Structure 1
């Protein structure tokens, strides 16, 4: 019999932003080796898990229609993977509130998978350390481990090597997606050229302006390929460049979401509102940069 009084476990899945992303090599099996600084923004999806006799998934939210609840959904895959690792049945009623665009380069699916691992580990009362959850998550996607740790971090390899980043200053982001999904494998396949060196830094920038200066010495090695596949990304970046107060503009991950970095909340929110007026068909959001965003319930 189910413990009907057991409350659901709620875990936030914040958007993951790549402040820089370098492709530093390629393995013999074809997987690219990366070096990136991933941070989290104060906007995202939500996972709610409750006791049940079987595993079910319901999806609501602004981008619910973009997803199905088929077995290949990352949330369901995460649930099955954790159940297999713990030797217990995959039984829970999971609800995903989808606020982030799908296949958009801000880790929505990966963040959802990581939040699912955390939620079910608590619901099922499993004694799994974050490193163990990250190892399970790596089989689901390269971005899942850094999302499991849920704090600003450098990641290397294919995503399995996660190192805490230095303390980052308060800052705001304006996130923009032009309404297209851009699958990561297509972008990597379209990429050409050589490899970059690592871009890690040790000292934490004093403020948002200094953070922008540090990041300007780095880049996103997938931008050219993404713009080739989806030229509207170039339009988004050009629009972001015009926003008053923008300290840095860049594409996140493999696209198509791009961001502008701001020092102040008011400037970011004003810029976002102005951009929504000019481009009503785009998804635009202003959100704080979360220097440390552990899962919450």
Structure 2
């Protein structure tokens, strides 16, 4: 029998350190200005040789993830196959570490990992820039999951400019077992903002604080225009933010469209105490400590298995 190959790729979840939103354009998309930071919470995708494209999902919130052609990782593999003209297949084994529908782009990380894993498995040989172009077709957050680190995103959030962030930033994440739909959060934002909102910009002071590696400066400029809409849809999020305010956290913010709430710690040694307080408050399904910036999608292992 012919030996089989598998490729293991890991991609990070993200926090929106800043997320500014403008009124919807004629095409229905809202212009965004955002600062992404990849953090040490990951999606693992193993692509194995197969006749067709299929997938299985395990890990955090796996029961809420579709395993058919609507899954973003499945769509990524199909898009790569169509773009390169290959008739190869792959079975994708996804292990989730990023919350499902949690505002941290776990599905986008799956798609980015699937693009890279299948490119390596099928020897299609696309450059990172070419993978990035395919990633942008899949969703606004997918290109960032490929690049990781810290970046400014404009347009739909998919036009990226790398941003220098010195040092490490320590975040405490309060997770919720209730997901929020990104389209629903944007519809709630539209209802809350009936008057035209201009194309947004990122505060220069935030960028200066990132370059300086200054968590206090970053905390002063954390902003998420979607936060009021997310809280309107899931009012218990305010309890999470309030709990963080009782701790040494410098500031807390809903990540993306929520419902994950991210709090910035001044020092790594503060984070455990912050996490313990919020966990004891009973306002989150889980509380995690992560750091950023983290690397984007990358190869972990490539294996050739002898069937004998």
Tell me which residue corresponds to 2:157.
159
Tell me which residue corresponds to 2:49.
51
In 1, are the aligned partners of 2:32 and 2:200 still within 8 Å (CA)? no
Secondary structure of the structure 1 residue equivalent to 2:240 = helix
CA shift for structure 1 position 17: 0.7
CA RMSD, 1 decimal: 2.0
- Note if 1:266 corresponds to 2:269: yes
Tell me which residue corresponds to 2:109.
111
Secondary structure of the structure 2 residue equivalent to 1:57 = strand
CA distance in 2, matches of 1:180, 1:291: 26
Go from structure 1 to structure 2 and tell me whether the alpha carbon gap of 1:278 and 1:129 turns closer, same or farther (over 3 Å shift).
Answer: same
Pick from 216, 219, 227 the counterpart of residue 231 of structure 2. 227
Tell me which residue corresponds to 1:38.
36
5+ residue gaps in structure 1? none
Secondary structure of the structure 2 residue equivalent to 1:69 = coil
In 2, are the aligned partners of 1:59 and 1:95 still within 8 Å (CA)? yes
Tell me which residue corresponds to 2:251.
248
In 2, are the aligned partners of 1:252 and 1:258 still within 8 Å (CA)? yes
CA shift for structure 1 position 273: 2.8
Question: Could you give the per-residue CA deviations for residues 2-41 of structure 1, whole angstroms, max 9, x where no partner exists?
Answer: 542x3x2111121111001001343211110100000111
CA distance in 1, matches of 2:94, 2:283: 26
Question: Could you give the per-residue CA deviations for residues 23-69 of structure 1, whole angstroms, max 9, x where no partner exists?
Answer: 13432111101000001111122111121222221111132112131
CA distance in 1, matches of 2:21, 2:219: 16
CA distance in 2, matches of 1:136, 1:176: 32
In 2, are the aligned partners of 1:177 and 1:283 still within 8 Å (CA)? yes
TM-score, with structure 2 as normaliser: 0.88
Tell me which residue corresponds to 1:206.
212
Secondary structure of the structure 1 residue equivalent to 2:256 = coil
Pick from 275, 279, 283 the counterpart of residue 276 of structure 1. 279
CA distance in 2, matches of 1:243, 1:91: 50
In 1, are the aligned partners of 2:24 and 2:31 still within 8 Å (CA)? yes
User: With CA pairs under 8 Å and 6+ residues apart, which has the higher RCO, 1 or 2?
Assistant: 2
Secondary structure of the structure 2 residue equivalent to 1:79 = helix
5+ residue gaps in structure 2? 301-308
Go from structure 1 to structure 2 and tell me whether the alpha carbon gap of 1:60 and 1:291 turns closer, same or farther (over 3 Å shift).
Answer: closer
Tell me which residue corresponds to 2:132.
134
CA distance in 2, matches of 1:215, 1:196: 23
Tell me which residue corresponds to 1:287.
290
Tell me which residue corresponds to 2:21.
23
